[in-house]
Amino acid sequence: MATPTYLQCAICGEQQPYVPFEPAICKQCQSQWLEANYDYEAFKREILRGIPNRPMNMWRYQDVLPLDNPAALDLYPAGGTPLWLSHRFAPDLGHGTVYIKDERYGPTSSFKDRQAAVAVAAMNENGIREAVIASTGNAAVAYAAACARAGIKLWVFMTSLVPQEKLREAALFGAEVIRVSGNYDQTKQIAAQFAQRKNLLLDRGASSIPARESMKTIAYEIVENLGWRAPDWYIQAVSGGLGPLGVYQGFKEMYAMGLINKVPKLAVIQSDGCAPMVKAFKAGKDVAEPVIPDTRIIILSTGDPGKAYTYLWNLAQKYGGVMESVSDLEAYNAMKALAKGEGMAVEPATAVAFAGFEKLSKNGVINKEDLVVINCTGHTFPVEKHVLGDQWAVDVHLSKDQSPAPREGLQAALEHLDETTTSVLLIDDNEDDALLIRRLLEGRKNYRMYHAKDGWEGLSIARQKLPDLIVSDLTMPGIDGFGLVEELKLDPRTKHIPVVVVSAKDITADERKRLNGHIEAVYQKGSLPTRKFVDQVIHVIEDKMDDRNKS
């Protein structure tokens, strides 16, 4: 068992119980930085024994991750990434002991795979089947992949400034993608309000215990791979700051257990066009003022880091460190140097870290003899448009530039979002009948429509998309409507989805009895009472939304 024994406030020291997915806020001083504590003595004994019979991935350190019984879960295999010694990039700068922690070897080639693995495992353990996340790219893709394996419906909110490849990759894994025409901070705001309106779990990033704890496995792997030795410096490019915050929890734990003799210095690197942390750090301030992002490296475009900066500031003050920024051009040059010198193709966000290392080296901040580890994560994964079809994202318009949206603009966008994210699955092998039903519904509401041409395809889409309503024919090839309804009600994922049957034939008393209790209504094709049908469908959907909001 690895559930935290308690949470302790990093500000006032107050202890309180750990409650999964409850916002980690100190009940004494209202601080948002609570640290999970485990049975470290037992874990240290396992380490000294060589951690026997453990997988070579992040679950090797499951004793200090917030899951009640990891052995009982089908765990997503993240982590266990290689630590490479730089052969040309760093030596060309005069450094002989610079290591690259290559997180590109994760399931979606990002260190965010660790975050998704623990967060989704915790969702599974607590029976959560639907969740919301806001992301600048990599976290969305990682969560989409992990949720796909777990059978959890995921709503992904990303700014439309994110490269389309990232958006499409999340959609490829089956996530519902909401593309927001605003900056990342606006995207987080509308995602939070959407989750609240739908009564869904919102992933809270740095304030989420499962998400934050996952990152410390990077530190454990680095230290173990170095022969239980801590590096002198750990370098990472940041947007919101979750990565290094979590990583340093691992370093601190190992130091407290006596496994390492120091905690590394921290180098946080940002893009010049979005560097609120760097500006505050260089001004000697422990609170960062928000900025409007102006960088082409959208993955690092968090303009308001909030409390995360203050916690990183405290780490740098206690253990030593620096915050620095580089230009987009310097990052692109580092990309080329890595490709040519190390044979590594990385995304611009990762290149920012390497450009930062180069700058700190030239300025003498990092000494030539220092042992350095740089976090390397992410790549762009192009997805052909024809794989996804046309309806892979929902657009929400907040503002044309990066300025804050007015309150009435957010409210209007949320109301539009309620309608455009309400999904209806039509299952009918008759194209004309399906088109008629679709037009009837779209004449009243801007619902998101999916169409399946037979029962088996409909069942597959229902399990993947978890629509708000299913409208199905009864007579179809493969599995008919009766079998479809029975399969839907037997599956825990789909049993609560309301079903409306539209039949081309008269339904016998026995057939009605077979459907009784499993569907909302039956309508006859040919004599379809248009207004009654549409009103009933809208009524069923609204009833479902009301029930969800009350639960």
Number of domains comprising the chain: 4
Asked if residue 192 belongs to a domain, the reply is yes
- E strand or H helix at 272: none
Burial-class residue 307 by CB neighbours within 10 Å (0-12, 13-18, 19+): middle
Same domain, 395 and 443: no
Helix (H, G, I), strand (E, B) or coil at 6: strand
Asked if residue 475 belongs to a domain, the reply is yes
Domain of residue 23: give its range: 1-71
Instruction: Quote the crossing angle between the two packed helices 455-465 and 481-490, to the nearest 10°.
Output: 30
* pLDDT tier at 410, thresholds 50, 70, 90: low
Same domain, 133 and 274: no
Burial-class residue 303 by CB neighbours within 10 Å (0-12, 13-18, 19+): buried
Same domain, 401 and 436: no
Q: For residues 549 and 551, what is the distance between their CA atoms, to the nearest angstrom?
A: 6
Same domain, 220 and 367: yes
Same domain, 285 and 241: yes
Asked if residue 540 belongs to a domain, the reply is yes
Cα angle 130-138-269, degrees, rounded to a multiple of 5: 135
Asked if residue 17 belongs to a domain, the reply is yes
Using the predicted structure, report yes or no on whether residue 174 has a pLDDT greater than 80. Answer: yes
- Number of other residues whose CB lies within 10 A of the CB of residue 460: 11
Tokens representing 360 are 């700190």
Q: For residues 259 and 249, what is the distance between their CA atoms, to the nearest angstrom?
A: 14
Using the predicted structure, report yes or no on whether residue 514 has a pLDDT greater than 70. Answer: yes
Asked if residue 83 belongs to a domain, the reply is no
Laid out side by side, the sheet with 393-397 consists of 201-202, 130-135, 153-159, 176-181, 393-397
Same domain, 126 and 243: no
- Residue 84 CB partners (closer than 8 Å, separation 6+): 99, 100, 102, 342
Listed range (252-266, 386-400, 445-459) with the worst mean pLDDT:
386-400
Cα angle 231-220-255, degrees, rounded to a multiple of 5: 65
Domain CATH code at residue 349: 3.40.50.1100
Q: For residues 493 and 536, what is the distance between their CA atoms, to the nearest angstrom?
A: 24
Same domain, 371 and 243: yes
pLDDT tens-digit profile of 76-105? 889 999 999 999 999 999 999 999 999 999
Report pLDDT for 386.
Answer: 37
3-state helix, strand, coil in the chain (%, to 5): 45, 15, 40
pLDDT tens-digit profile of 307-316? 889 999 999 9
Domain CATH code at residue 486: 3.40.50.2300
Listed range (48-62, 265-279, 306-320, 452-466) with the worst mean pLDDT:
452-466
Smallest CA-to-CA distance from 299 within 394, 235, 354, 379 is with 379
**Percentage of the chain surpassing pLDDT 70?**
92
Cβ–Cβ under 8 Å, residues 479 and 455: yes
Whether the predicted model's global pTM rises above the 0.85 cut: no
**Residue ending a domain, choose from 71, 98, 133:** 71
Same domain, 541 and 453: yes
Helix (H, G, I), strand (E, B) or coil at 495: coil
Asked if residue 134 belongs to a domain, the reply is yes
**Locate tokens 């490019």: which residue?**
237
Same domain, 429 and 403: no
Asked if residue 96 belongs to a domain, the reply is no
Report pLDDT for 385.
Answer: 43
Q: For residues 264 and 437, what is the distance between their CA atoms, to the nearest angstrom?
A: 63
Highest averaged pLDDT of the listed ranges 129-138, 228-237, 452-461: 228-237
Same domain, 395 and 253: no
Using the predicted structure, report yes or no on whether residue 125 has a pLDDT greater than 50. Answer: yes
Asked if residue 89 belongs to a domain, the reply is no
- Beta strand 372-376 pairing with 233-237: parallel
Same domain, 451 and 546: yes
Same domain, 449 and 403: no
